[in-house]
Amino acid sequence: MRGGSLWQLGQSITRRLAQSDKKAVSRRYFASDADLKKTALYDFHVAHGGKMVPFAGWSMPIQYKDSIMDSTVNCRVNGSLFDVAHMCGLSLKGKDCVPFLETLVVADVAGLAPGTGSLTVFTNEKGGAIDDSVITKVTDEHIYLVVNAGCRDKDLAHIEEHMKAFKSKGGDVSWHIHDERSLLALQGPLAAPVLQHLTKEDLSKLYFGQFQILDINGSTCFLTRTGYTGEDGFEISVPSEHAVDLAKAILEKSEGKVRLTGLGARDSLRLEAGLCLYGNDMEQHISPVEAGLTWAIGKRRRAEGGFLGADVILKQLQDGPTIRRVGFFSSGPPARSHSEVHDESGNKIGEITSGGFSPNLKKNIAMGYVKSGQHKNGTKVKILVRGKPYEGNITKMPFVATKYYKPS
Amino acid sequence: MALRMWASSTANALKLSSSASKSHLLPAFSISRCFSSVLEGLKYANSHEWVKHEGSVATIGITDHAQGHLGEVVFVELPEEKSAVSKEKNFGAVESVKATSEILSPISGEVIEVNTKLTDSPGLINSSPYEDGWMIKVKPSNPAELESLMGPKEYTKFCEEEDAAH
């Protein structure tokens, strides 16, 4: 056997058999284990049977004793606890932190009610995506945001550069990077009932996208009702010295039903939920409009602009983008990143950016970009896997219905 | 190969599906110290395929060690009957939820039978890698190629060394 697809999420490589170099295939540079960063839960993962792999410079569990398939199904039936402490949490503070952030993201930050947040995109001058992020307006003078681990250095350098310029013109903004905290994600139907055991605050009043600073299991946590699976759930920022205790408490309160879940299942879950993975489905050259995230561009922002690349994005909103992100079902082997998408006559119309076998739907699912005009649901396509075309069709996302906790 | 990518010293202790495969063991087997089963009477390639040579037919599949590292198989791509396979050249692919792996033929010859059960039940490769999960039967064109393959003890040692390197 010879493997081409790597376990490195965000860099999954589809086997291109025709072009592969026999000798090159198995050789891949990995940072030595000593160079990899460890989260506060590293030993906890290993003790629980975690299979540790390098990811974005960290040693992270790709799975535990159960298979990725079982783990993914369990999240939607019971629940999952993920260590996402590799992601970077930061706070922007100051009188002008809202107008400052608005120069960098497409969200209507001023329009967010205190204690609410949203998914947004950091854009570059060409209207492409630097990263996606969940931002929360805690108060008018405090914004809390989380960015991807793989983009940490890039994002922080970008924010710092613009912050310096903003301050030199008299703006009042400062930042704090929460390296003293660890982020855990608790997702699934049991997330709220289990977490409720660990806090006195009434979680039934905390809806999707809302944020609260509260005591959980004896420590002050930042709690956001959000996630990356499509299920109801939370992301919990806990002081790192209490991270293991919190993880233990969550698992115990669920009586084993909520399982520690790794990055392998996390990727399957977010794909089923139709969510982008930066580095695969969103990149520097892809705009939020092309990625189907027009809803994340605030109404006022569409009229006013004021963020990097606004001219490009506003034009795409007017004329329509030339490519669009869509979902696919297909037969045969699962379509993977970089597989070509052809129309029924064999003309190339797009490319897959993420794909795999859905453990919950038990069929192949994928997402990718196709030329506008060819993007309607139901459009029949052919997807090339290892040089052979397989039947597929375009479908809407999410593939698995989301269960976000919203007021009725 | 895919196995080399699993950078973890805990991988050895974690044979996820090997307990499932033990339900189909032949009487004569040796269990490698890496806890996956290796059968007597078979020959092994260093790319983790096995060959069972009986008369003029050679049956080929992937080993317990391989399926354990791959995880749950969701799709198998196999060649047609009458097509040719060559030693160390790929003849198909195995897909798990997250990864794709090529399968290399340990010997050269003509494919005389393909296990069509794998289309509907790719998981047979996990539950029964040496029996129900067989992949192709080949008429060997050069039986001397079998000599250069590893025996069970050699293969067991090979697996241990490979896993220890990660």
Confidence of residue A166 (pLDDT cuts 50, 70, 90): very high
Identify the CA nearest to A226 among candidates A183, A259, A194: A183
The pLDDT tens digits for A117-165 are 999 999 999 999 999 999 999 999 999 999 999 999 999 999 999 999 9
* A241 has a pLDDT exceeding 70: yes
Q: Which pLDDT belongs to residue B33?
A: 43
Q: Test A2 with B5 for CB contact under 8 angstroms.
A: no
Lowest mean pLDDT among A10-19, A267-276, B84-93: A10-19
Choosing from A271, A287, A320, the residue where a domain stops is: A320
Q: Which of A2, A53, A333 shows the shortest C-beta gap to B1?
A: A2
* A25 has a pLDDT exceeding 80: no
Residues of B in contact with A33 (CB under 8 A): 7
Report how far residue A167's alpha carbon sits from residue A171's, in angstroms, rounded to the nearest whole number.
4
* A24 has a pLDDT exceeding 50: no
User: What percent of chain B has pLDDT above 70?
Assistant: 78
Would you put residue A63 in left (φ > 0), alpha (ψ -120 to 50) or beta?
beta
Q: How many CB pairs under 8 A join A and B?
A: 124
Q: Which pLDDT belongs to residue A29?
A: 44
Q: Which pLDDT belongs to residue B71?
A: 86
Report how far residue A162's alpha carbon sits from residue A166's, in angstroms, rounded to the nearest whole number.
6
B90 interfaces chain A, CB cutoff of 8 Å: yes
Report how far residue A19's alpha carbon sits from residue A17's, in angstroms, rounded to the nearest whole number.
5
Rounded to a whole number of angstroms, the distance from the CA of B28 to the nearest CA of chain A is 25
The pLDDT tens digits for A350-379 are 999 999 999 999 999 999 999 999 999 999
How many beta carbons lie within 10 A of that of residue A243, not counting itself? 23
My answer on whether A362 and A388 are in the same domain is yes
Residues of A in contact with B49 (CB under 8 A): 1
Q: Which pLDDT belongs to residue B98?
A: 73
At a CB cut-off of 8 Å and minimum separation 6, what does B94 contact? Answer: A1, B62, B70, B73, B75, B76, B77, B100, B101, B103, B122, B125
Q: Which pLDDT belongs to residue B166?
A: 60
Residues of B in contact with A3 (CB under 8 A): 1-5, 99-102
Number of H helices and E strands in chain B, helices first, is 5, 11
My answer on whether A316 and A350 are in the same domain is no
Which residue would you say has higher pLDDT here, A408 or A194? Answer: A194
Report how far residue B16's alpha carbon sits from residue B65's, in angstroms, rounded to the nearest whole number.
10
My answer on whether A280 and A346 are in the same domain is no
Q: Test B102 with A267 for CB contact under 8 angstroms.
A: no
Q: Which residue has the tokens 């009229």?
A: A303
Which residue would you say has higher pLDDT here, A20 or A74? Answer: A74
Rounded to a whole number of angstroms, the distance from the CA of B88 to the nearest CA of chain A is 9
* B29 has a pLDDT exceeding 50: no
Contact present, B71 and A67 (Cβ < 8 Å): yes
Q: Which pLDDT belongs to residue A191?
A: 98
Query: A269 in helix, strand or coil?
Result: helix
The pLDDT tens digits for A77-121 are 999 999 999 999 999 999 999 999 999 999 999 999 999 999 999
Residues of B in contact with A7 (CB under 8 A): 5-6, 98-99
Please tell me which residue of chain B has the smallest CA distance to A333.
B75
My answer on whether A242 and A351 are in the same domain is no
What CATH number is attached to the domain comprising A353? 2.40.30.110
List, in order of start, the domains of chain B with CATH numbers: 43-165 (2.40.50.100)
Residues of A in contact with B90 (CB under 8 A): 2, 17
Mean pLDDT confidence for A208-234: 97
Query: A204 in helix, strand or coil?
Result: helix
* Residue A394 in domain: yes
Q: Test B16 with A54 for CB contact under 8 angstroms.
A: no
Total domains in chain A come to 2
* Residue A9 in domain: no
Q: Which of A2, A7, A72 shows the shortest C-beta gap to B102?
A: A2
My answer on whether A113 and A240 are in the same domain is yes
Q: Test A17 with B98 for CB contact under 8 angstroms.
A: no
How many beta carbons lie within 10 A of that of residue A24, not counting itself? 8
Q: Which pLDDT belongs to residue A32?
A: 60
Confidence of residue A35 (pLDDT cuts 50, 70, 90): confident
Mean pLDDT confidence for B70-87: 94
Whole-angstrom CA distances from B121 to B74, B116, B125, B132 are: 8, 9, 8, 10
How many beta carbons lie within 10 A of that of residue A248, not counting itself? 12
∠ CA(B97), CA(B102), CA(B108), 5° rounding?
150
* Residue A405 in domain: no
My answer on whether A294 and A352 are in the same domain is no
Rounded to a whole number of angstroms, the distance from the CA of B97 to the nearest CA of chain A is 5
My answer on whether A192 and A315 are in the same domain is yes
* A190 has a pLDDT exceeding 50: yes
Choosing from A304, A320, A336, the residue where a domain stops is: A320
Choosing from A271, A300, A320, the residue where a domain stops is: A320
Burial degree of A153 (CB within 10 A; 0-12, 13-18, 19+): exposed
Token representation of residue A89: 């949490």
* Residue A142 in domain: yes
* Residue A69 in domain: yes
* B102 has a pLDDT exceeding 90: yes
Confidence of residue A33 (pLDDT cuts 50, 70, 90): low
* Residue A240 in domain: yes
Q: Test B100 with A54 for CB contact under 8 angstroms.
A: no
The pLDDT tens digits for B103-121 are 999 999 999 999 999 999 9
Buried-exposed string A289-325: b where 16+ CB fall within 10 A, e elsewhere: bbbbbbebbbeebbeeeebbbbebbbebeeeebebbb
Instruction: Please provide the distance, in angstroms rounded to a whole number, between the alpha carbons at the two ends of chain B.
Output: 13
A235 is in an annotated binding site: yes
ipTM of the complex: 0.73
Of the CA atoms within 13 Å of residue B23, those in its CB half-sphere come to 10
Residues of A in contact with B4 (CB under 8 A): 3, 26, 28
Q: Which pLDDT belongs to residue B97?
A: 82
Mean pLDDT confidence for B78-97: 94
Mean pLDDT confidence for A165-186: 98
What CATH number is attached to the domain comprising A185? 3.30.1360.120
Q: Test B104 with A14 for CB contact under 8 angstroms.
A: no
Q: Test A33 with B6 for CB contact under 8 angstroms.
A: no
My answer on whether A312 and A332 are in the same domain is no
The pLDDT tens digits for B119-165 are 999 999 999 999 999 999 999 999 999 999 999 999 999 999 988 87
My answer on whether A314 and A340 are in the same domain is no
My answer on whether A288 and A349 are in the same domain is no
φ, ψ for residue B158, nearest 5 deg: -60, -45
Mean pLDDT confidence for B81-104: 92
My answer on whether A311 and A329 are in the same domain is no
* Residue A101 in domain: yes
Q: Test A386 with B49 for CB contact under 8 angstroms.
A: no
* Residue A26 in domain: no
Q: Test A359 with B93 for CB contact under 8 angstroms.
A: no
Rounded to a whole number of angstroms, the distance from the CA of B125 to the nearest CA of chain A is 13
Rounded to a whole number of angstroms, the distance from the CA of A338 to the nearest CA of chain B is 14
Task: Find the domain containing A199 and state its range.
Answer: 31-320
B162 interfaces chain A, CB cutoff of 8 Å: no
B1 interfaces chain A, CB cutoff of 8 Å: yes
Query: A183 in helix, strand or coil?
Result: strand
The pLDDT tens digits for B52-71 are 999 899 999 999 999 988 88
Residues of B in contact with A49 (CB under 8 A): 10, 14
Residues of A in contact with B93 (CB under 8 A): 15, 17, 333, 386
Q: In what order do the strands lie in the sheet with A2-3?
A: A2-3, B100-104, B90-96, B73-77
Q: Which pLDDT belongs to residue A3?
A: 64
At a CB cut-off of 8 Å and minimum separation 6, what does A126 contact? Answer: A284, A285, A309, A312
My answer on whether A101 and A195 are in the same domain is yes
Residues of A in contact with B10 (CB under 8 A): 46, 49-52
Mean per-residue pLDDT over chain A, rounded: 92
